[in-house]
Structure 1
Amino acid sequence: MCFNTVKQRRVIGMKVAVIGAGIAGLSCAYELKRRGIVPTVFEKKSFTGDAFDLNIVTMKMFHRPVNDPVKYFKDKYNLELKPISRLSELKIIGPTKMMTVKNNLGYIFKRGWEHDSLSNQLLHNTGITVELNSYIQDVGEIKDYFDYIVVATGDDSIVKRMNAWKTAFHSYIRIATIIGQFRTGVLTAWFNTKYSKHTFAFMVANSPKEAVLTLIVDGITLMDLDYYWKEFLFKEDINYTITETRDIEYNTGFANPLQLGNVYFIGNSGGFTDGFLGFGMVNSIHSGVLAARSIAAGEDYSKLVSPILKEINVLYELRKVLNSSDNKDFDAIVGLLGNSISKKLSYSNPFFSVGQPAFITKLYNIVRKK
């Protein structure tokens, strides 16, 4: 349904709080303001954006039918987003096999505190002032002052207190800024249970001389992360100069229900990050916009986001496949992704999605042949 034809409820004087000035929260604030509601956005940090430098990608095969998210958000919501580059090459390195595909695969965006980070681009689009240094730990602290509250903290801290959260995946992540010679527009990903267990590591360049190297490891403690990091650098013979590292704990899961009374859960706080490879940018923006639409127009939030959740649930099935995979499986999966037929169907076909049943069946069959 076109937003211009949606019937608006009376919004004059409506008070809405958004807890969290990240991608989802600021997307919600943007759409609320576009619909005549100026929200109060609370952010616990002293700045907007992320406390870590990280490059994120959007890949077409994960977001069908949104073939081009930059064009889609501009056309549908008049929301201008500028990537740091197009994603033109994907290189996947398994334990013994490797594949490379070159195509118009998606976009690379920057997260962090810089002015061109995705969060700060969204803030510029909203044109609102964020209440910084405002740590809201419980919606009870502000519920008497607002008609609606949107939880967009990027984690499960508030939704878990409200007994509406189920964790599906837990990991620790090390993010390193490295100096060297790099090609922009390239995503390099490594899969090996020796250092990333059932997840992966990846590298994306900021510029020809700087890149971000990230290792994600599931099922470990923070104290274990050093060991896996050293294993990663050693096994892949990575010798770049490291200028900074940051460690974060990261969970994905499901919020149920997605709305408790006048409280909405969006972004990662609502379970809108897929548990397969952790893609969340497009879904976070969508969830924020649709929560704003629900508030302003009185539409059912659960129904609005149901197509997104359906896709996320399918990707969760893929995550369960990876959770039982070993290095032989990862090599087989790299082989599947890298064969010429798969390349043609997966990366060039505007209708292909990794959530399609045929693709899932192939991955299941790989693991079951052990």
Structure 2
Amino acid sequence: MVFLIKVAIMGAGLSGLACAITLEQNGIIPTIFEKREVVGDRFVNLEIFLSILTKPVTDVISFFTENYGIIIHPVSNIKNLHIYSENEKSKIQGNLGFISLRGRDSDSLENQFSRQLKSKIIFNSKHTYEELLQEYTHVIIATGDAAYTSKIQVFNESLTVSLRGATIEGDFDKYSVCAWLNNKLAPKGYGYLIPLSEKEAQIVIGYPDYNGIKNINEDQLWENFYKEVCTSLEQDLRITDQFKVKNYIIGLCNTPRIGNTFFVGNCFGSVMPFLGFGQFASILTGIYAALDICGKGNYEQLTHKLRESYKNSLALRRGIELLDNKKLDLFVSGLEGKLGERLFNSKYDFLRIGGAILRPITKTK
């Protein structure tokens, strides 16, 4: 029996657009419903594809091009990673990953993906999931909001985090990323600097909203972090723009597919808890959902490794949360030299191995 496949995609973010691209490649033209006015209608920010987090894939740009026909133009590749703790620092070199641009910019990943599409995008959409379910044979939930998933099914929330960031002007190596592991700057969290160009970069701190951290003076944390970045880079950096995100949910959906409804991106649980990046998994969930609809795979089976990666990443986060600044000093100093470069440039997935070891210790199921 032949029936007409009609696919509705709720959300024009990375996962929804990746799904649409893959459907089009297989002869299915979906309709995309976006509640905002344009693609990428959010604050501009920089993110990274870090190869140590995507193994066995070490080059995500060629991976998506050669395997799925999706073209990504990064801001730059990452050659150097500088990691700072309270009293130590390390430098790691190699083919470490790529920098990407997100949000309200014509070169953002969202806008890059939209230019690879022919599908209709309905902006300022008020359509509900229930309405689309009656009109379309398949619905992709790609709203980017875990809270939306929790209306439909159980969403297993692991933690919420607060983020604060700024665009800064100075002199930067556009191929070098910096990270800070220091509980005085970001309790049980992290800070990072990602360059946009040789004159502009973005700095961010992120930390969990645990009891005891919630009530901390966030303005003082931010001031301390900003001063530390200036000290580490030996520059007086000028802030040109700022953003805040409060209570951002990190978690994993209970079921990737319910009937002919697929949960992708943040609605699936693509943000990896360890360092908070999730672009790689987000794009894959969109692709995998499309392949299932096209009869080329089983979504639950295809996303199984992503679910395991999430759990390993959560175990790593819980493990590093146990470290005080003295132990973070030891950790960072241990990454200096050949050990760190072997860890980051090896073909082996040491984070998967480390996460698997830590799961029973941290009671991560």
TM-score, normalised via structure 1 length:
0.89
Q: Give 2:312's aligned residue.
A: 314
Alpha-carbon distance change, 55 to 297 in structure 1, aligned in 2, over 3 angstroms: same
Does the 8 Å CA contact 1:62/1:353 hold for their aligned counterparts?
no
* Displacement after TM superposition at 1:323 (Å): 2.5
Q: Give 1:6's aligned residue.
A: none
SS at match of 1:316: helix
1-structure distance, mates of 2:75, 2:31: 29
SS at match of 1:297: coil
Q: CA RMSD in A?
A: 2.4
Q: Give 2:346's aligned residue.
A: 349
Alpha-carbon distance change, 135 to 218 in structure 1, aligned in 2, over 3 angstroms: farther
1-structure distance, mates of 2:46, 2:172: 14
Does the 8 Å CA contact 1:156/1:269 hold for their aligned counterparts?
yes
Q: 2:70 pairs with 79, 99, 105, which one?
A: 79
Q: 1:272 pairs with 270, 273, 281, which one?
A: 270
Alpha-carbon distance change, 225 to 154 in structure 1, aligned in 2, over 3 angstroms: farther
Deviations 1:284-328 (A, max 9, x none): 111100011111217431111112222221121101112322212
2-structure distance, mates of 1:52, 1:195: 23
* Displacement after TM superposition at 1:23 (Å): 0.8
1-structure distance, mates of 2:276, 2:296: 31
2-structure distance, mates of 1:262, 1:235: 50
Q: 1:192 pairs with 182, 187, 192, which one?
A: 182
Q: Give 2:225's aligned residue.
A: 232
SS at match of 2:350: coil
* Displacement after TM superposition at 1:50 (Å): 4.6
Does the 8 Å CA contact 2:319/2:358 hold for their aligned counterparts?
no
Alignment of 1:205-220 (within 5 A): 205-219=195-209, 220=213
Is 1:130 the counterpart of 2:128? The answer is no
2-structure distance, mates of 1:364, 1:334: 24
1-structure distance, mates of 2:357, 2:188: 19
Q: Give 2:254's aligned residue.
A: 256
Alpha-carbon distance change, 264 to 224 in structure 1, aligned in 2, over 3 angstroms: farther
SS at match of 1:294: helix
Deviations 1:42-65 (A, max 9, x none): 112111115111111112211111
SS at match of 1:125: coil
Q: Give 1:4's aligned residue.
A: none
* Displacement after TM superposition at 1:224 (Å): 4.7
Alignment of 1:116-127 (within 5 A): 116-127=107-118
1-structure distance, mates of 2:68, 2:272: 23
1-structure distance, mates of 2:141, 2:70: 21
Alpha-carbon distance change, 180 to 234 in structure 1, aligned in 2, over 3 angstroms: closer
* Displacement after TM superposition at 1:361 (Å): 5.3
Deviations 1:174-204 (A, max 9, x none): 1211111111011111111122111111111
Identity value in percent: 28
Alpha-carbon distance change, 206 to 232 in structure 1, aligned in 2, over 3 angstroms: same
Alignment of 1:28-43 (within 5 A): 28-43=19-34
Q: Give 2:288's aligned residue.
A: 290
Which AA in structure 2 matches 1:232?
Answer: F
1-structure distance, mates of 2:290, 2:228: 47
Is 1:174 the counterpart of 2:194? The answer is no
Does the 8 Å CA contact 1:53/1:212 hold for their aligned counterparts?
no
SS at match of 1:47: coil
Is 1:245 the counterpart of 2:242? The answer is yes
Q: Which runs of 5+ in 1 are unaligned?
A: 1-8
Is 1:48 the counterpart of 2:39? The answer is yes
SS at match of 2:313: helix
SS at match of 1:317: helix
SS at match of 1:252: strand
Does the 8 Å CA contact 1:50/1:111 hold for their aligned counterparts?
no
Alpha-carbon distance change, 152 to 362 in structure 1, aligned in 2, over 3 angstroms: closer
Is 1:98 the counterpart of 2:89? The answer is yes
Does the 8 Å CA contact 1:53/1:175 hold for their aligned counterparts?
no
* Displacement after TM superposition at 1:231 (Å): 2.5
Does the 8 Å CA contact 1:177/1:242 hold for their aligned counterparts?
yes
Does the 8 Å CA contact 2:92/2:340 hold for their aligned counterparts?
no
SS at match of 1:212: strand
